Chains A and B, each alone.
Chain A
Amino acid sequence: MPISLCHSFKGHKDKVWSTSVNPKFPLLATASSDKTCRLYNLNTKQLIEVLDEKTHKKAIRTVDWKPSGDYPILALGSFDATISIWGRENDDYEEYTTTFNTENKSDDWELMAIIEGHENEIKSVSWSCDGEFLSSCSRDKTIWVWECDETNEEFECVSVLQDHTQDVKCCKFHPREILLGSSSYDDTIRLYKQDIYDEDDWCCVSELTGHSGTVWSIDFEKTYNDDKVRLCSCSDDSTVRVWKRLKTIGNSKKEDVPSTLRSEPNSEEWELQQILPEAHERQVYCCSWSPTGKIASVGSDGKIVIYEEDKNNEEWKIRDVHELAHQVAEINSCEWWYNKDEEKEYLITGGDDGIVNIWNID
């Protein structure tokens, strides 16, 4: 079935780097080199607010909604090395939910905190599923884990992870488990957890190697049965790969894993499940795992590629390819949006043309 364009948001004056759909409300946030973040109502497709260009001095690279709490809270990460936290407080939850179907609702968003610490450009931010932690990563080669208080105004750095040897391009928390993944210019993917003996300490539990270029982004599988954890990754080497955590942690059947690793409590075993069928010709900048189990990838070649897994043999296949999805522009981000009312999945992409597109994937 073909991929068809459903809606275009044109408003950013420069590259769109990142988008985020609020898990509770029909809210879309988009981040751009034009130093603004735009908030849209996904029901009416109306612009709700522009988080202004005065807060960040440089491009806004990344955006992520906090998954927990009664009202929407947003984190923005910028090339100016700071993170800003925005929220819409003092709201009646029930009342706020109903406002999304009315037109022209004026909104009042508040800057709640500015977080400083990184030396240079922030590339990615991600909240943990319970909203307790926020992670951020930077060209300074580090990942910082911040603990968030209930007011969303105080953020305390609980750990600085320095395992990567180059820029950290992406950090992402698992949607159900307190497990943090990261990918880097050093071509590797790493996974982190809280130390089982000391929760204030975070440690690297696994390193995934195989990509032969910068790993631009990773995304975890959304379904979570039986501790089954998988992630997809995409890279400068133009491949998309799926990796899985082996069920039996620290008790591997594989001979080639050193025994010292097996007995280590703070370690996980991961293996490559599949390099997905070749579809991209250039750098792949973003990949996203849908709630119903599809994977989408986008990149420099302007293509949207959708992959689907054959449940019988766990073999991934290309389902659809859509060329020149942002005309000749590069595509920087893709993200799935599950519309609960329609029980239907859409894909949201952002490109160098400053446009954010919503796609029908039938």
Chain B
Amino acid sequence: MSDPINANPTVLDVSQLPSRVTFDKSVNGGNVAAIFQDDDLRDLLSLSLFNGNDDMKEFRVDPDGDVLSMSDPEILSVASSVDGSSSEGENDEDEPIDAQEIFDLVSTISDPEHPLTLGQLAVISLADIKVLNKKAKSEISEVIIKITPTITHCSLATLIGLGIRVRLERCLPPRFRITILVKEGTHQSENQVNKQLNDKERVAAACENEQLLGVISQMLSTCK
């Protein structure tokens, strides 16, 4: 691999990253045990996206386990076992998807260049995630994420954005429209990157490019 584009990025410690537990600090005291609990909770919340969702079954119809497909039998079986064993499973489904949940889904994606996650590099931050969630699941909802590249000429910004899009398209129900933007003033070709990341045809074509998919699955391999 050639020289890294940003050899010395600022790194946040994982414990500094926002998580659901920070909102309940008074209850849990924020100790190590609470963080473990939080992980469980996180798993539960993200898994709840996969089960019992009728429109999902209808739309994600690719039997070949295509990249955008939700029909991965492994995920489904895990999800259903969680659903079966937990009485809270049904309540989780009614809980709307919020910014923290989106943060949890994408902050654990690995940077294509560093052995660090997008959360640790502060490419993704909770404050830059906006969720416009419609109450009814039959309506269209929206997620807007602004990413902050580690340096203003980062040529990997599009790849990072694509990784985030693939992750969210795989995990969120089809009612979500995902908009990914480079945060204002953080990239020299902001408009170009934004246009590319939100062109559905280019994204669809990119997802049929094996080489690119290989890189993206590597980035996503650190996701829980």
Contacts and interface: CB of A to CB of B under 8 A. Distances in A.
Interface in A294-352: 300-302, 324, 327-330, 352
Interface in B161-216: 173-175, 177, 195, 199-202, 204-205, 208
B61 A14 contact: yes
Top 7 A-B pairs ranked by shortest CB distance? A328-B175, A58-B208, A121-B205, A353-B59, A79-B205, A13-B61, A14-B62
A245 interface: no
A169 B201 contact: yes
Interface of B is mostly: loop
B170 to A, nearest CB: 14
Given A58-B208, A282-B177, A328-B138, A14 B55 contact: no
A90 to B, nearest CB: 35
A324 B138 contact: yes
B204 A59 contact: yes
Categorize the interface residue count of chain B: 20 to 34
B58 A185 contact: no
Interface string A44-86: 0000000000000011010000000000000000010000000
Interface of A: 13-15, 33-34, 58-59, 61, 79, 120-121, 123, 139, 167, 169, 185, 213-214, 236, 282-283, 300-302, 324, 327-330, 352-354
Given A34-B62, A58-B208, A185-B195, 5 more contacts: A79-B204, A167-B201, A213-B195, A324-B138, A324-B140
A123 B202 CA distance: 10
A214 B195 contact: yes
B195 A327 contact: no
Contact of A33 (B58, B195, B204): B204
A41 B195 CA distance: 39
B24 interface: no
A169 B138 CA distance: 30
B40 interface: no
Contacts of A14: 61-62, 66
Contacts of A302: 140
A301 B140 contact: yes
A34 B208 CA distance: 11
B139 interface: yes
User: A123, A139, A328, A353 — which one has the most chain B CB atoms within 10 A of its CB?
Assistant: A328
A59 B209 CA distance: 11
A15 B200 CA distance: 11
A167 B66 CA distance: 25
B63 interface: yes
A263 B208 CA distance: 48
A185 B140 CA distance: 25
Nearest to A34: B62
24 contacts: A13-B64, A34-B62, A58-B208, A61-B201, A79-B204, A139-B205, A167-B201, A213-B195, A214-B195, A283-B200, A300-B177, A300-B200, A324-B139, A327-B58, A328-B59, A328-B138, A328-B140, A328-B173, A328-B174, A329-B59, A330-B177, A330-B200, A353-B58, A354-B59
Contacts of B62: 13-14, 34
